[in-house]
Amino acid sequence: MVGGGLAGLSSAVALAEAGWRVRLLEKRPHLGGRATSYTLPDGSEIDNCQHVTLGCCTNLADFYRRVGAADKIRFYNRLYFADAKGKVSTIEASPLPPPLHMAPSFLLFGSLTLADKRGIANALLSIARAGGAPDDIEGLSMQEWLERRRQTPGAIARFWRVVLVSALDEELSRTDARYGIDVFWKGFLSTRAGYRVGIPAVPLAKLYDGCRAAIESRGGEVRLRCGVRQIRTEGDRFVGAELEDGSEIAADACVLAVPHDAVATLLPRDSNRRAALLEDLRQIKVSPITGVHLWFDRTVMTQPFLTLLDHTTQWIFNKSLLCGESAPNGDGPPPAEGTTSERKGEGAAESAEASAGSQYLQLVISASYDLVPKSRQEVIAFCMRELADVLPPTRQARLVKGTVVKEVSATFSPEPGVDRWRPGAADSGIDKLFLAGDWTRTGWPATMEGAVRSGYLAAESLLSDFGQPRNFLRPDLPPEGLCKIWAGRRNSAGAAHHGETSPGPRKEKARI
């Protein structure tokens, strides 16, 4: 296994469970790749960037369970939105059947006009009635699809953009409509639990403590600070790898689980498939995410997290509360269909004080193209001005320290048609060499869920190749309520469905 990000870790753990002795080689001193944390010189441990999961991310949840990390993720049923003046509205599921479960919150949502809401409701209903796969999306960007659905500028700016730019790390005009629609279908329409926000209550690197044990207990090993310089082949067959220290190791098979822009340097130059694969990978663009870490001398925020409308900053996470001693235990289980909405723990979340006298917030700005050229001081000053709007106590508070983490190549850009450049796990063109990574053809955007799916798919491909087929990929949450009926009708009518156009879900469907 080359690469110890979520793709490599999930693949390694799956293969170890299948009885393979896995040697995982990671060039950095820690596991987790982009979804990790590290210690600053002053001793504070920070995430590379806050990472959140959603209830619909079934494979990531499965991976956390396998490595004993599931209880370190807390799920929240209530989402908080702050408008330009800091007025907070909330959204949460009601007992109504999907796709109507969010309707009462949505109707009461203060930051949208009646015309905005009417347009949004029509567009959402058209997604739901089409079982998540409207016919008119081929080749369209999300912006184009929304314009065709006559969305008001307010609806686009304060609803669609707010959800999608942070979910997909790209502007709507550069996002394939299929990805945008999938977020709403899987997250907000088809099931009651899909939208629940899962937030780690520990620094990200601590989620992977169980991976090493899972690999080593089956005779494998995890090597950190162990970069691979080149993959070795004989003919078109993988035989081993040359490490950065010049040594070589042999193996029966390899999963290359590095970022897509690192593949070029690792593949042998004489491989036939290399040129075509690299040409495809060159077409995949990237987009940036900026994380801003701010420590205040006092409590400035009471909610566990806030989504911002009308600002460049998209999310504020109250890290002292989410990861501190007083961390709320999420909101408990999702409200069951037909029962009263569960609110256990919610009050605690709002009233709990951060550790006395100080508070650590993390701000996230996805698709942060405009911030990339700015200096650290400029970014912090800009964010402080935005915080003054939505969290008035920050105006009086003293900023004790701040740090900015710019990930210029945070994720691949989900631009229209990007799927045609994404190779499948078995498309390396080299026998016994498999590909994994959020950028491979999973049907999902660049997310932790996409990375774990790619890891499971690579493990499945490898095992099939050795005549030991196993299934690791977990199905999506099954549609509920009216969505179950509509999705069923759509499937029995044999209409084109996501699962029939993208390889990840197609495999999955066959197994359900």
Ligand X SMILES: Cc1cc2nc3c(=O)[nH]c(=O)nc-3n(C[C@H](O)[C@H](O)[C@H](O)COP(=O)(O)OP(=O)(O)OC[C@H]3O[C@@H](n4cnc5c(N)ncnc54)[C@H](O)[C@@H]3O)c2cc1C
Interface ranges with ligand X (CB under 6 A) = 2-8, 25-28, 33-35, 49, 51-53, 227-228, 257-259, 262, 266, 289, 291, 407, 410-411, 437-438, 446-451
What contacts 285, CB < 8 A, 6 or more positions away?
412, 413, 415
Residue 67 or 155 having the CB closest to ligand X: 67
Q: Are β-strands 433-435 and 254-256 bridged in parallel, bridged antiparallel, or unpaired? A: parallel
Residue 388 or 405 having the CB closest to ligand X: 405
Residue 334 or 450 having the CB closest to ligand X: 450
Residue 152 or 233 having the CB closest to ligand X: 233
Which amino acid is located at 145 in the chain? W
In 3D space, the residue among 314, 402, 303 whose CA is nearest the CA of residue 366 turns out to be 314
What does the alpha-carbon distance between residue 158 and residue 112 come to, in Å, rounded to a whole number? 7
Number of DSSP helices (H) and strands (E) in the chain, helices first: 18, 19
Stretch (H or E) spanning 404: strand 399-412
CA 35 to chain centroid: 9
Q: Are β-strands 88-91 and 79-82 bridged in parallel, bridged antiparallel, or unpaired? A: antiparallel
In 3D space, the residue among 247, 243, 230, 283 whose CA is nearest the CA of residue 430 turns out to be 230
Residue 76 or 486 having the CB closest to ligand X: 76
- Min CB(133)–ligand X separation in Å: 22
- Min CB(185)–ligand X separation in Å: 17
The percent helix, strand, coil of the chain (3-state, each to 5) is 40, 20, 40
- Min CB(458)–ligand X separation in Å: 11
What does the alpha-carbon distance between residue 360 and residue 120 come to, in Å, rounded to a whole number? 35
Residue 123 or 258 having the CB closest to ligand X: 258
Residue 130 or 418 having the CB closest to ligand X: 418
Please provide the DSSP assignment of 147-187 as one string: HHTT--HHHIIIIIHHHHHHHHSS-GGGSBHHHHHHIIIII
Residue 363 or 448 having the CB closest to ligand X: 448
Is 190 buried (19+), middle (13-18) or exposed (0-12) by CB count in 10 A? buried
